[in-house]
Amino acid sequence: MKGRFHLLRLIPGTSQIPIPFTFVVAAVVLLAVTLAIDQAAYVGMLRLPGWFSVGGPEDARAVLGAVIGAVSTVLALIFSISLLVFSQTVSWFGPRLMYRFLRDRTMQGTLGLFLATFVHSLLTTVIVRQQKGFIYVPQVTVISSVVLALVSFGFLVIYNNRVATALQTSNVLAQIVEDLRMAIEGLRKEGVISTGGAFVASSPRDVTEIRERCVAHGAPLRATVSGYVQRVKKDRLLRAAARTDAVVCLVFRPGLYVVEGEVLAYVWPPEKLEDLAPVVLDCVWIGQQRTLEHDVEFAIFQLVEVALRALSAAVNDLHTGLTCIDWMGDALRLLAKETWPEGYWRSDDGVIRYISLNRLRFVRVVRSAFDQIRQAGAGNPAVIIRLLQTYERLAPFMRDNEQRNAIADEIEATWQAASQHPFPKSDREDVEAACQDARKALAAPIQRS
């Protein structure tokens, strides 16, 4: 489960096994409870109302047979719909977004409910007996199967509505940005970032000296598996480093791919490696796929992938491409207002204990967001204009020169890309006007919150 022992193969919540089988176990427990009530009624310890009955054994078998037949048919339908959804997801949005549909609780719950109803009804059919004058019809259990079938079909309506809304591009893009918002909120709670705040400052020379000393003279800790760094448990890492009076320099940040045998981190002083190695390997989670938990850049890549597919010659869905650019601007607005540390963190004693040698910078996020879309849509004036309009709208949210310079570079790169294409006169005038508006908005004084 942890990076020290083996690779995290699944994104949390995407397994299709736990929830359905939990429902099946619950159905078996319900069967045991209802059978206990039926047994009490059979021996006379409990009296059921006269109307609370489905009739004799033949009537019970007919009802249960109808339930089993209907549930079996719908189970096959659900599997077919699920496979169709997965196929369409990969075709329309790309494999990066597959996990979003795999972890959908409505789909897993509906599948589990129908499977539980099938198991409950099948076992109840076996229990209904009529032989040599012995008749046993568990009325409460049979009616429970009917109630489960009704509830299951009610959830089927919810499931169909969920599928219909989940496949709409606008909903997918909005949910990506919402997940980014939740990931940012999680990072705030863990103290990885802050909003408008400031981390405890150190002399740049001091931090540089510690970093250089750690890399030059520290003991290298090598990765035991290959995969993407998904999460770093910062608090535990800081406590362990403080306890051993050491400094840990992590080479890879969440979202980067590490190869087995590569240097994952440096530990200084080197004699502390033996004590810290198990903790560091346990605090750095490595998996087969990127996740949003500590890798906020992954949300940007998801939006970019949808945009590139939409703008490709095979799909040619301009509206979806423009929608992706709009949501991309909102995602960058969320990231722009966060305060990221200078790649180092202190323990409770005020000493620098953890340094990231490859921290995420805003300029990299901006390039990841727009470079590929600009390249794919350079010959389309609508894409160029929408990009420039997005830069203009982002300008008031840029809080420092680094952020403004990142947007300024994108404005000039977009203008250069547009200049290389012979747009019609009216389109070129629109592009020039949008470019001038973006430059003017970026030249305005920085807003202080």
Region 69-92: mean pLDDT is 81
Sign of CA dihedral 345, 346, 347, 351: positive
Distance CA 84, CA 15 (A): 18
Lowest model confidence (mean pLDDT) among 153-157, 257-261, 276-280, 293-297? 293-297
Could you please report the per-residue DSSP string of 187-215? HHHTTS-EES--PPP--HHHHHHHHHHHH
Distance CA 200, CA 193 (A): 12
Highest mean pLDDT range out of 18-27, 95-104, 438-447?
18-27
Neighbouring residues of 313: CB distance < 8 A, sequence distance ≥ 6? none
Q: Which of 221, 229, 356, 352 is nearest to 277 (CA)?
A: 221
Task: Tell me what percent of the residues of the chain surpass a pLDDT of 70.
Answer: 91
Lowest model confidence (mean pLDDT) among 164-178, 223-237, 379-393? 164-178
Residue 313 DSSP class = T
Amino acid at 357: L
**Average pLDDT in the chain:** 85
* pLDDT tens by residue, 405-429: 999 999 999 999 888 888 899 989 9
